[in-house]
């Protein structure tokens, strides 16, 4: 069942009511709504699907007894037991390949990378095995596998722990790349991920785990490839995913003060990409700014800008602008980290450039 996006409240402060972490159990608000944060939304989606589908197993480093490094899997071990919720050794290549083999033989594994940065030792298993299995077997085998974990920069965690991998994995046919920005989207997309037959890279963000939203208590799923307008506007389209959506919304509020009305489009899944929704928006605003935590070279913005130039060449009043993580490894120093990320001040500058034409 698909339901309409609930009113999005960008101003909802983080970590007010849902902390300390509550696992899947949320505060029911009445009117069919419940208050939960993003980590709980993911936990709830997995738990509900585990109740429905006994072939779902959860595995990863610290997911069981420790309740997850970021508590996304809190309570799952207690509820579903050690056969279905397994702590793995630190062996990303091993447990990813194991999950691929399990997915080919009747199970539906959900594996957690404590951070997507730690997926790199498993890169061969994700690319050579998971992404190509359906094709190179001529459709004999599928890999219904969800790979999930936090993605993008954490708080001052420096070079090796700050990668955003949307563009990296979107490059390869055979993978689905989901990158939600809100609890509502995260839950609905996780439901879809657990009800289909392809390997899914489900990219979360540590900095959004505490983000709260009122979402329906009733079951719902959000299809892949359907974007969402997070803020309607007339003057400039900002396409952003994941944490960048929130920076884009912040920038949009600031720009509104000087009379620039931005529309913030969240594709929600990078692959498949809802280019139709983006094109529709650009035909209205005539301007495009993309925002992402990936690097500029070969990033999501490069793909979106190219497609939009092809589809909407005559509608554009300015060249597309890209706001990305600057092309340097993430520095530790606070001021340098601030400048590296696609923060609101850089988005505002890009929108002003686009709107000055």
Region of 196-204, 243-251, 336-344, 348-356 interacting with other proteins (CB under 8 A):
196-204
Classify 276 as helix, strand or coil.
helix
Quote the CA–CA distance of 110 and 63 in Å, as a whole number. 11
Number of residues that bind other proteins (CB under 8 A): 55
Smallest distance from other proteins to CB 126, Å: 11
Closest distance to other proteins from the beta carbon of 85 (Å)? 12
Kind and range of the H or E run holding 30 = strand 27-30
Please pick, among 49, 51, 61, 161, the residue that the annotation labels catalytic: 161
Site for other proteins in 98-137 (CB under 8 A): 98-107, 121, 124-125, 128-129, 134-137
140 scored as a contact of other proteins (CB under 8 A): yes
The torsion angle over the Cα atoms of residues 10, 11, 12 and 13, rounded to 10 degrees, is: 120
Residue 345: active-site member: no
What is the spatial distance between Cα 47 and Cα 88, in angstroms, rounded to a whole number?
Answer: 19
By C-beta, is 32 or 276 nearer to other proteins?
276
Which lies closer to other proteins via its Cβ, residue 6 or residue 272? 272
Residue 242 to residue 62: CA distance in whole angstroms: 24
Question: Contact with other proteins (CB under 8 A): which of 196, 219, 254, 353?
Answer: 196
Examine residue 10 and tell whether it contacts other proteins (CB under 8 A): no
Answer yes or no whether residue 96 interacts with other proteins by CB under 8 A: yes
Residue 307 near other proteins by CB under 8 A: no
Least distance to other proteins, CB of residue 234, Å: 20
338: which 2 tokens? 């601030």
Buried b (16+ CB within 10 A) or exposed e, 88-98: beeebeebbbb
Please report whether residue 180 would count as binding other proteins according to CB under 8 A.
no
Residues 6 or more apart from 37 whose CB is under 8 A from it? Answer: 14, 15, 18, 19, 183, 209, 210, 211, 212, 213
Tokens 């069981």 locate to 64
Q: Which residue has the tokens 């340097």?
A: 328
C-alpha 217/C-alpha 243 separation (Å) is 24
Q: Tokens in use for 105?
A: 């033989």
Q: Residue 89 interacts with other proteins (CB under 8 A)?
A: yes
Least separation in angstroms between residue 152's CB and other proteins is 23
For 42, residues 6+ apart whose C-beta sits below 8 A from its C-beta are 72, 148, 186, 187, 190, 204
Applying CB under 8 A, which part among 95-103, 254-262, 313-321, 323-331 lies near other proteins?
Answer: 95-103
Min CB(120)–other proteins separation in Å:
12
Active site residue 161: yes
Min. distance of Cβ 173 from other proteins in angstroms? 5
Per-residue exposure over 248-260, b if at least 16 CB sit within 10 Å of its own CB, e if not:
bbbbbebbeeeeb
Q: 290 Cβ partners below 8 Å, 6+ apart?
A: 238, 239, 240, 300, 301, 304, 305, 320, 321, 322, 323, 324
The length of the chain in residues reads: 357
> What would the x/- binding string for other proteins be over residues 243 to 282, using CB under 8 A?
-----------------------------xxxxxx-xx--
Nearer to other proteins, 66 or 135 (CB): 135
Q: Which residue in 33, 226, 229, 349 binds other proteins (CB under 8 A)?
A: 226
Please identify, among the stretches 66-74, 222-230, 298-306, 343-351, the one whose residues bind other proteins according to the rule CB under 8 A.
222-230
> Which entry of 61, 92, 112, 212 is annotated as an active-site residue?
92
Binding site for other proteins (CB under 8 A): 57, 83, 86, 88-89, 91, 93-107, 121, 124-125, 128-129, 134-142, 144, 173-174, 176, 196-198, 223-227, 272-277, 279-280
Residues designated catalytic:
92, 161
């Amino acid at each position: 069942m698909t339901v309409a996006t609930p009113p999005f409240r960008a101003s909802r402060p983080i970590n007010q009511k849902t902390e300390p972490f509550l696992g899947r159990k949320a505060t029911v608000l009445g009117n069919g709504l419940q208050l939960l944060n993003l980590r709980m939304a993911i936990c709830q989606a997995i738990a509900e699907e585990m109740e429905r589908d006994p072939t779902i197993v959860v595995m990863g480093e610290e997911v069981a007894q420790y309740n997850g490094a970021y508590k996304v899997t809190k309570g799952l071990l207690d509820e579903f037991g050690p056969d279905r919720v397994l702590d793995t050794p630190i062996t990303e290549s091993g447990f990813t390949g194991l999950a691929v083999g399990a997915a080919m033989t009747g199970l539906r594994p959900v594996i957690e990378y404590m951070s997507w940065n730690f997926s790199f030792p498993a890169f061969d298993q994700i690319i050579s095995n998971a992404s190509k299995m359906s094709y190179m077997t001529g459709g004999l085998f599928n890999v219904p596998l969800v790979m999930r974990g936090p993605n993008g920069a954490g708080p001052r965690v420096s070079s090796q722990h700050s990668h955003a991998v949307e563009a990296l994995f979107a490059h390869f046919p055979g993978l689905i790349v989901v990158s939600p920005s809100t609890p509502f989207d995260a839950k609905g997309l996780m439901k879809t991920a657990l009800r289909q037959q392809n390997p899914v890279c489900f990219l979360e963000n540590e900095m959004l785990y505490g983000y709260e939203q009122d979402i329906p208590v009733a079951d719902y799923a959000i299809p892949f490839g359907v974007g969402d307008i997070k803020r309607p506007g007339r003057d400039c389209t900002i396409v952003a995913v994941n944490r960048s959506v929130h920076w884009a919304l912040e920038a949009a509020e600031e720009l509104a003060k000087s009379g620039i009305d931005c529309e913030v489009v969240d594709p929600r899944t990078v692959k498949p990409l809802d280019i139709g929704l983006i094109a529709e928006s650009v035909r209205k605003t005539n301007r495009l700014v993309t925002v992402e935590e990936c690097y500029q070279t070969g990033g999501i913005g490069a793909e979106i800008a190219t497609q939009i130039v092809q589809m909407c060449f005559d509608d554009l009043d300015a060249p597309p602008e890209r706001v990305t993580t600057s092309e340097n490894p993430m520095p530790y120093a606070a001021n340098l980290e601030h400048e590296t990320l696609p923060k609101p001040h850089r988005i505002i500058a890009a929108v002003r450039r686009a709107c000055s034409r």
